[in-house]
């Protein structure tokens, strides 16, 4: 059984396009936030109970549930409590906007897929810049092909993929690139305003690296390529510059501290 979720809310068209495509492979269930919860990352609800309701399904054969929590909450609840049939694949999306570069770290779409991965299931996060139905259908069909590869064993082992589809007709997409996240893709800053009584602040985004390296997700999208980024190695891998020599030296310095 495939679990579909998102961070754009229970009635986001991207999620239903995705669920409709995946239904051709297996039984599909939807558990998603009852409202938009974008840029919430890996947040979980710990200090209040979660409420759930069955939602109207716009696709025959798919059960849908809305919860008053985060995308990550949706996956945890679905895997650990809601269904007797085991969930064997988690697909999050289709997000309305790219999740590339540093945005991966705050993306609710990726955060939901991460919970599936942490629970031992293969997981996909799928995003595109949505302007029309055709672009959604391309992203949904691609997700189905990747899911099919997982289910038939073409993709083996622990799978946690972040997929971004360029905003182009299929004839103008040049291929698929295996990528890494671009770094310093943007910078979030606070700008101050005033209503005459007290200051207030807006968070604004400033452009970062203007020419990302060719093996990055942003460069792939800019080049008309579908970007597939394996996050199970990117998020949890050790940076190359932090090697064993550095770690041993760090521990030596730590042991030199005066005793308390």
| Burial class, 162, CB count within 10 angstroms (exposed 0-12 / middle 13-18 / buried 19+) | buried
User: What's the rounded Cα separation, in Å, for the pair 165 and 97?
Assistant: 10
SS3 220: helix
User: What's the rounded Cα separation, in Å, for the pair 89 and 108?
Assistant: 17
The confidence score (pLDDT) of residue 207 equals 66
Region of 97 on the Ramachandran plot (φ > 0 left; ψ -120 to 50 alpha; else beta): left
Q: How far is CA 7 from the centre of its chain?
A: 9
Which among 103, 125, 99 is positioned nearest to 3, based on CA atoms?
Answer: 125
Which CATH number is associated with domain 2-182+211-255?
3.40.1210.10
* Mean local confidence (pLDDT), 37-66: 96
User: What's the rounded Cα separation, in Å, for the pair 80 and 84?
Assistant: 10
Kindly report the pTM of this predicted structure.
Answer: 0.88
The confidence score (pLDDT) of residue 79 equals 97
User: What's the rounded Cα separation, in Å, for the pair 256 and 15?
Assistant: 55
The confidence score (pLDDT) of residue 237 equals 54
User: What's the rounded Cα separation, in Å, for the pair 8 and 39?
Assistant: 10
The confidence score (pLDDT) of residue 255 equals 76
Q: Widest CA span of the chain, in angstroms?
A: 68
Cis? peptide before 94, omega within 30° of 0: yes
The confidence score (pLDDT) of residue 128 equals 95
* Mean local confidence (pLDDT), 226-245: 69
- Structural domain boundaries of the chain? 2-182+211-255
């Amino acid at each position: 059984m495939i679990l579909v979720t998102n961070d754009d809310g229970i009635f986001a068209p991207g999620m239903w396009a995705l669920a409709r495509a995946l239904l051709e492979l297996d039984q599909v269930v939807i558990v998603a936030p009852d409202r938009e919860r974008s840029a919430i990352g890996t947040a979980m609800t710990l200090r209040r109970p979660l409420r759930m309701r069955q939602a109207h399904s716009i696709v025959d054969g798919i059960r849908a549930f809305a919860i008053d929590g985060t995308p990550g909450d949706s996956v945890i609840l679905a895997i650990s409590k809601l269904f007797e049939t085991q969930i064997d694949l988690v697909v999050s999306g289709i997000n309305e906007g790219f999740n590339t570069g540093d945005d991966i770290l705050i993306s609710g779409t990726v955060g939901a897929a991460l919970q599936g991965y942490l629970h031992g299931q293969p997981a996909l996060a799928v995003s595109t810049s949505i302007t029309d139905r055709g672009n959604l259908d391309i992203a949904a069909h691609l997700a189905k092909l990747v899911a099919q590869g997982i289910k038939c064993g073409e993709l083996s082992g622990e799978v946690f993929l972040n997929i971004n589809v360029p905003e182009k007709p299929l004839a103008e997409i040049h291929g698929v690139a295996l990528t890494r996240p671009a770094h310093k893709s943007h910078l979030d800053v606070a700008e101050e305003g005033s209503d005459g009584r007290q200051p207030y602040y807006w968070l604004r985004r400033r452009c970062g690296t203007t020419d990302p390296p060719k093996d990055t997700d942003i460069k792939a999208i800019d080049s008309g390529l579908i970007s597939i980024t394996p996050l199970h190695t990117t998020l949890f891998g050790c940076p190359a510059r932090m090697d064993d020599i550095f770690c041993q030296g760090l521990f030596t310095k730590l042991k030199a501290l005066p005793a308390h």
